């Protein structure tokens, strides 16, 4: 059932399809994130040397890479930081992103969170990025159609 503000159009969201994190023998972390929009899949990749905080960073960067491919360079997000914290016996991924506000031209900060224990680090970080970008993406994608 559509609510009054949705009548006449279907609202969709960018959907997380897959999130993988692998480590090489040389301490290299490689993340691959797959997102879907309107039945088209967009894959993002990122890699760096290290573990721990580097794992979080490459997962966030891979998610942003997939989003940038989806958006065709029309909106550019930048990663400010990513962190995992313990809250109420669960791990929570928190990301801070920057995006240029199209109305003011100024840099706007976006914050997103998601539980990361259940689906693991890659899924938690990818969902936190999508949570942070949700309002900007929803407005941009619905206006661009």
Q: Which residues contact 55 (CB under 8 A, 6 or more apart)?
A: 21, 29, 31, 121
Task: State the alpha helices, DSSP H only, in 44-120.
Answer: 53-71
pLDDT digits (tens, 9 = 90+) for 81-118: 999 999 888 899 999 999 986 667 778 899 999 998 76
pTM higher than 0.95: no
What six digits make up the tokens of 128?
A: 């936190």
Tens digit of pLDDT for each residue in 17-57? 999 999 988 889 999 999 999 999 999 999 999 888 899 99
Map out the domains of the chain with their CATH numbers: 14-143 (3.30.160.270)
């Amino acid at each position: 059932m559509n609510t009054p503000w949705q009548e006449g159009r279907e609202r969709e969201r960018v959907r997380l399809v897959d999130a993988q994190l692998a480590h090489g023998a040389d301490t290299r972390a490689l993340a691959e994130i797959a997102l879907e929009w309107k039945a088209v899949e967009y894959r993002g990749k990122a890699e760096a040397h290290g573990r721990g905080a580097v794992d979080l960073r490459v997962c966030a960067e891979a998610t942003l890479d997939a989003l940038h491919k989806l958006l065709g360079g029309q909106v550019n997000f930048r990663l400010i930081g990513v962190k995992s914290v313990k809250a109420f016996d669960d791990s929570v991924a928190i990301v801070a992103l920057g995006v240029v506000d199209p109305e003011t031209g100024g840099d706007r900060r976006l914050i997103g969170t998601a539980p990361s224990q259940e689906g693991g680090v890659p899924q938690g970080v990818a969902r936190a990025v999508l949570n942070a970008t949700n309002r900007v993406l929803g407005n941009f994608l619905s206006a661009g159609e």
